[in-house]
Chain A
Amino acid sequence: MLADAMAPALPQQEKLTKKKLTADHPTWCPGCGDYSVLSSFYKVLERNNLPHENIVAIAGIGCSSRFPYFVNAHGVHFVHGRAVPFATGVSLSRSDIHVFVFGGDGDGYSIGGNHLDHCARKNVNMLYVIMDNQVYGLTKKQTSPTSPVGYKSKTDPAGAIDRPVNPMKKLIANGATFVARTCASNPAHMIDMMERGMKHNGFAVVEVLSECVQFYSNAFDAANPRRGGVFKLIEEKTHDGTSEDENRHDVTDEQAAYKLADQPFPGVFGVFFKVDRPTKNQLEQKWIDSLRAKNDPSDLDILRKTFDRLK
């Protein structure tokens, strides 16, 4: 878009390192799952050596939304729940920028739930990492939209009574084109999911189960083999024609993705859904290009002609 023509050409940069990407020391509690998400993110950036100045980390409000302070890159700490539409503004007006959004379950599924639906529908190009700890941590233990029924919090002393959001189903139903689920206790898998999400052209969401050691400790032990749980991977169809491939998950099959999303806690991990659908970025650019082709190259002449029609 507008920016492309003006961004100065940059020489190939030296390799990005963790040192170059590290900013303030995280303010998270010791043992918080988000540390692991942060180091995995560094790893993704290092591996891909993205131009340093073209990386943007954007967040709303919450423990996990402190993320941009801990990444040495252009960063934004915005208001609660609106990081996604803010990021949309960056993404749509700057195709040269790699847009990363970080947040928690409250930011993403509660106060910002509407924006999540619409960004998914519009398929805006960005990677959104949702660190889901199933509790409000920053405000010290209130029920979150993903808290399971029965979870005792300060706002549900007798146990949560509302049915929790099913993030995978919500995202798939609303049109997100890359929907994956991982867990902070499995960094290798997390890096893989984030990297695939980053490379996906469209709205990519990676939901990360990230434990809050303070207010909901051991919540995700069932998915952690080191604590006696099972990290059950989604086996993706490889289309190799073998008989075992028939039972594997087709990531373009919406109905199959819903079935996976309905598995009881802790569920399965991996890519639930991935399709290629034109992004809003592409569709808007097409509309811009068609109008640019029909109009004068000079802004002054375009407005002059408009005024001529009003005479």
Chain B
Amino acid sequence: MTEKNISDFTSCAGHADINDLSSITGNLEGQNTARRQQFINDAVIRIAGNSQDGIQAVGGFLARLAGRSAQDVMTYMTIPSTISGGPSIFQVRIGSGEVLSAGDEADFLVAFYQHSYKDHIGFLKKGGTLLYDSDHVQPDFTDKGHFYIGVPMTGLTVEALGGTAKDKGKNIFLLGLLAKIFDLSVPKIEKLMEERFGKKDPSVANNALMAFHAGYAYPVGNVIDLYQFEKTEKKPDARPQVTMDGNQALAYGLIAGGVRYGAAYPITPWTSIMEILRAELPKYGGLFVQCEDELASVAMALGYAFAGHTAVTGSSGPGISLKTEAIGWASMAEIPLLIVNVQRGGPSTGLPTHVEQSDLNQAIFGGHGDSPRVVLAPKTVEDCFYIAIEAARIARQYSTPVFILSDASLATRIEAFEEPDLSILMADPRPDFSPRPAGFKPYTLGQITHHAPPGVKITDGQYPLVTGLEHDELGHPTGNPKLHLAMTAKRRDKLRQLANELPLPEIHGPGEGNILLVGWGSTYGPIREAVDKARSGGDSVSSIHLRHVHPLPVGIETIFEGFNHVFVVEMNDEGVYGYGQLAAILRARYCNPKIQSITKTDGLTYKVREILDRTTVHLNSAFAKR
């Protein structure tokens, strides 16, 4: 919430348990009448419970609602890597302006259990509101920094649903409460619930509505202020917003980009992309196959690609490790392939449900031999859609493997963005089956290879072969030193050619100044917000965000020239030599000692505050070193 509201909260800090109405009047004397509605433009709501409580569903409803109301929204969730049970949170940040990160601290904390309260109260901002299930949570009222409001959510849900549902439905009860507190549109929520539950047994939809209205009817307005989001001005030509998570955006981007075939093996947090593609691709006449393992899935995807299609395989870190041999084959045989890596904490099984950007080196260098490939990294949920289209185009144009490096935070967070103009974005998925002229060579030196898929007639009757052995222009195996030299250069020069065509990243802030922050991937929002915050405080900070990580666009060094310090912000380890993975690559590429590294490996997304604090520390040490 905006600063001006904080004073309101702190002034009325107290606690209320509506089970005991007398306690309200006792604690909030003089404040339970004539509550006014306050206008806000930004709110961070964190809901903490267990993974089976359906808090993701509530968060999802809030996000969709915000998207439909032309508001900006970003969500953040954690789930335990167990099948059921374990603490889980869902955080929603809704704003009437641009929402760049999920928020450093919460304005509202909802706690279902004592552990939810204990684990997350530290995340609640001073003067923030704790909304707790008084059937399960006993807060420490001696901490006067927050406003406490207890509602017997479990009991009231059971009461509302007639006692047969146990406490299932308390998430929807909570949705009702939040709808009341934030003056959310009831008809819109009812419509969302109908869309979600309408196809199920009618009793499910009825129960949901009963739970929602029980929550909405609860007299929470007697004890705290109610809020209303400021209306956002819709741009006159703006398209309606779509609301989805990063994995959905990536999957639909692949489809828009012309991908019709794929194969993979399930692994968190990649899996939902393959689930979507398995269900969606047949509608387009394509196919996605769940394979017996990662090795088969990359092989099968390459089979589709050889057959003429734009094909995808994907996984998360450990699975990508298993695919690397065949990705090297794609480099050697010059076959287009899209590889999605939804990164998680590593190495080995690591932190399956946490975020990390530690697979960059693997994407660029993973595998034996010199095997050039392209690496792209989406910066937001919206960008997951657009980068998939670009990756597919590059794979086809340069006949090369292309990595898309997403991560666990993009995969699971929900954002609203303007609906893409599909009429201009949809790529034609049809392969080129036209006959090839006499003398067709698959690997002509000095040209980008475009292999002839099976079914293509070669007019002189000499059929080509694609191969992982070093080869001559016709694909015949050879150990000829000159040819290995020439072919290695041929495969590498494609990436140099691409680098010349890539746009330079946009500079956020002035092109000259003291500090330049460099990021890649999902850290886009927090870095940008950190720059805005620092600049509003008078600091000279700008940022660039690299979507094209390998090859790097030509000319980045000229951007570096405009700054005294270049700090590369990423979520991986500083390594033996003190530099994160992108920082090390940039230092090797540009030999520029002002490139420094800000890294972390706690498995959590960057907070804006962390970036600012770490930048200050680095700046001080940079001065000290002088």
The residue that B287 contacts in the complex, of A54, A69, A93, A96, with Cβ under 8 A, is A93
Closest Cβ of chain B: how far from A240's Cβ, in Å?
41
**CA A284 to CA B468, docked complex, whole Å:** 30
Chain A proximity mask over B65-104: 1 for CB below 8 Å, otherwise 0: 0011000000000000000000000000000000000000
Q: A97 contacts B461, CB within 8 Å?
A: no
Q: B455 contacts A114, CB within 8 Å?
A: no
CB proximity to B under 8 Å, residues A76-93: 76-79, 81-83, 85-93
Query: Closest residue to A4 on the B side, CB-wise?
Result: B285
Any chain B CB within 8 A of the CB of A307? yes
Q: B326 contacts A79, CB within 8 Å?
A: yes
Which of chain B's residues have a CB closer than 8 A to the CB of A311? 67-68, 240-243, 419
Closest Cβ of chain A: how far from B252's Cβ, in Å?
7
CB proximity to A under 8 Å, residues B29-56: none
Q: A89 contacts B263, CB within 8 Å?
A: yes
**CA A87 to CA B300, docked complex, whole Å:** 7
Which of chain B's residues have a CB closer than 8 A to the CB of A83? 299
Closest Cβ of chain B: how far from A116's Cβ, in Å?
10
Closest Cβ of chain B: how far from A108's Cβ, in Å?
14
Binds A, one of B172-180, B424-432, B487-495: B424-432
Any chain A CB within 8 A of the CB of B256? yes
Q: B465 contacts A97, CB within 8 Å?
A: no
Main secondary structure of the interface of A (DSSP, over half): helix
The residue that A300 contacts in the complex, of B67, B287, B422, B431, with Cβ under 8 A, is B422
Which of chain A's residues have a CB closer than 8 A to the CB of B280? 306
The residue that B455 contacts in the complex, of A97, A284, A294, A307, with Cβ under 8 A, is A97
**CA A75 to CA B466, docked complex, whole Å:** 6
**CA A15 to CA B596, docked complex, whole Å:** 68
In the complex with contacts A68-B465, A118-B292, A291-B283, A303-B426 CB distance below 8 A = yes
Any chain B CB within 8 A of the CB of A158? no
Which of chain B's residues have a CB closer than 8 A to the CB of A304? 422
Any chain A CB within 8 A of the CB of B291? yes
Any chain B CB within 8 A of the CB of A20? yes
Query: Closest residue to A114 on the B side, CB-wise?
Result: B292
Which of chain A's residues have a CB closer than 8 A to the CB of B325? 79
Any chain B CB within 8 A of the CB of A244? no
Any chain B CB within 8 A of the CB of A73? yes
CB proximity to B under 8 Å, residues A29-63: 52-56
Which of chain B's residues have a CB closer than 8 A to the CB of A89? 261, 263, 299-307, 311
Q: B244 contacts A78, CB within 8 Å?
A: no
CB proximity to A under 8 Å, residues B264-298: 280, 282-287, 289, 291-293, 295-297
Q: B422 contacts A307, CB within 8 Å?
A: yes
The residue that A77 contacts in the complex, of B300, B463, B469, with Cβ under 8 A, is B469
Which of chain B's residues have a CB closer than 8 A to the CB of A284? 282, 287, 289
Which of chain A's residues have a CB closer than 8 A to the CB of B296? 82, 85, 88, 114-115, 118
Any chain A CB within 8 A of the CB of B350? no
Any chain A CB within 8 A of the CB of B536? no
Q: B431 contacts A3, CB within 8 Å?
A: yes
Interface centre among B282, B284, B299, by most chain A C-beta atoms within 10 angstroms, is B299
**A/B pair count, beta carbons within 8 Å:** 204
Q: A85 contacts B299, CB within 8 Å?
A: yes
CB proximity to B under 8 Å, residues A262-309: 284, 287-288, 291-292, 294-295, 299-300, 302-304, 306-307, 309
Any chain B CB within 8 A of the CB of A18? no
Query: Closest residue to B461 on the A side, CB-wise?
Result: A20
**CA A280 to CA B260, docked complex, whole Å:** 18
Which of chain A's residues have a CB closer than 8 A to the CB of B304? 89-90, 92-93
Any chain A CB within 8 A of the CB of B185? no
The residue that B463 contacts in the complex, of A75, A86, A93, A288, with Cβ under 8 A, is A75
Binds B, one of A6-14, A143-151, A160-168, A190-198: A6-14
Closest Cβ of chain B: how far from A246's Cβ, in Å?
40
Q: B255 contacts A303, CB within 8 Å?
A: yes
Any chain A CB within 8 A of the CB of B476? yes
Closest Cβ of chain A: how far from B400's Cβ, in Å?
17
Any chain A CB within 8 A of the CB of B452? yes
Q: A69 contacts B457, CB within 8 Å?
A: no
The residue that B454 contacts in the complex, of A6, A74, A295, A309, with Cβ under 8 A, is A74
Q: A24 contacts B242, CB within 8 Å?
A: no
Any chain B CB within 8 A of the CB of A72? yes
Any chain B CB within 8 A of the CB of A230? no
Q: A288 contacts B454, CB within 8 Å?
A: no
Which of chain B's residues have a CB closer than 8 A to the CB of A94? 307-308, 454-455
Any chain A CB within 8 A of the CB of B590? no
Interface centre among A69, A86, A115, by most chain B C-beta atoms within 10 angstroms, is A86
Any chain A CB within 8 A of the CB of B565? no
The residue that A92 contacts in the complex, of B287, B293, B297, with Cβ under 8 A, is B287
In the complex with contacts A69-B477, A88-B303, A79-B468 CB distance below 8 A = yes
Any chain A CB within 8 A of the CB of B433? yes
Which of chain A's residues have a CB closer than 8 A to the CB of B241? 311
The residue that B434 contacts in the complex, of A2, A8, A96, with Cβ under 8 A, is A8
Q: A79 contacts B422, CB within 8 Å?
A: no
Closest Cβ of chain B: how far from A30's Cβ, in Å?
20
Q: A82 contacts B326, CB within 8 Å?
A: yes
Which of chain A's residues have a CB closer than 8 A to the CB of B464? 74-75
Q: B452 contacts A74, CB within 8 Å?
A: yes
Closest Cβ of chain B: how far from A21's Cβ, in Å?
9
Query: Closest residue to B309 on the A side, CB-wise?
Result: A93
Closest Cβ of chain A: how far from B320's Cβ, in Å?
16
Q: B326 contacts A303, CB within 8 Å?
A: no
Which of chain A's residues have a CB closer than 8 A to the CB of B195? 309
**CA A161 to CA B415, docked complex, whole Å:** 60
Closest Cβ of chain B: how far from A49's Cβ, in Å?
14
Closest Cβ of chain A: how far from B330's Cβ, in Å?
10
Any chain B CB within 8 A of the CB of A233? no
Chain A proximity mask over B224-244: 1 for CB below 8 Å, otherwise 0: 000000000000000011111
Q: B256 contacts A303, CB within 8 Å?
A: yes
Any chain B CB within 8 A of the CB of A188? no
Q: A303 contacts B293, CB within 8 Å?
A: no
Any chain B CB within 8 A of the CB of A256? no
Any chain B CB within 8 A of the CB of A173? no
Any chain B CB within 8 A of the CB of A138? no
In the complex with contacts A78-B329, A299-B429, A287-B282 CB distance below 8 A = yes
Which of chain A's residues have a CB closer than 8 A to the CB of B243? 310-311
Which of chain A's residues have a CB closer than 8 A to the CB of B210? none
Q: A74 contacts B261, CB within 8 Å?
A: no
**CA A86 to CA B434, docked complex, whole Å:** 23
- A69-B465, A97-B454, A311-B242 given; 19 more Cβ-contact pairs under 8 Å: A2-B260, A55-B454, A68-B465, A72-B463, A74-B464, A75-B463, A83-B299, A85-B263, A85-B299, A86-B306, A87-B303, A89-B302, A89-B305, A94-B454, A115-B292, A284-B282, A292-B283, A292-B285, A310-B248
A residues at B contact (CB < 8 Å): 1-3, 6-8, 10, 20, 23-24, 52-56, 68-69, 72-79, 81-83, 85-94, 96-97, 114-115, 117-118, 284, 287-288, 291-292, 294-295, 299-300, 302-304, 306-307, 309-311
Counting from the closest, the 7 A-B pairs by CB-CB distance are A89-B303, A75-B465, A85-B296, A82-B299, A85-B299, A118-B292, A77-B467
8 contacts between A and B (CB under 8 A): A3-B431, A52-B457, A52-B463, A74-B454, A74-B456, A75-B466, A87-B303, A94-B455
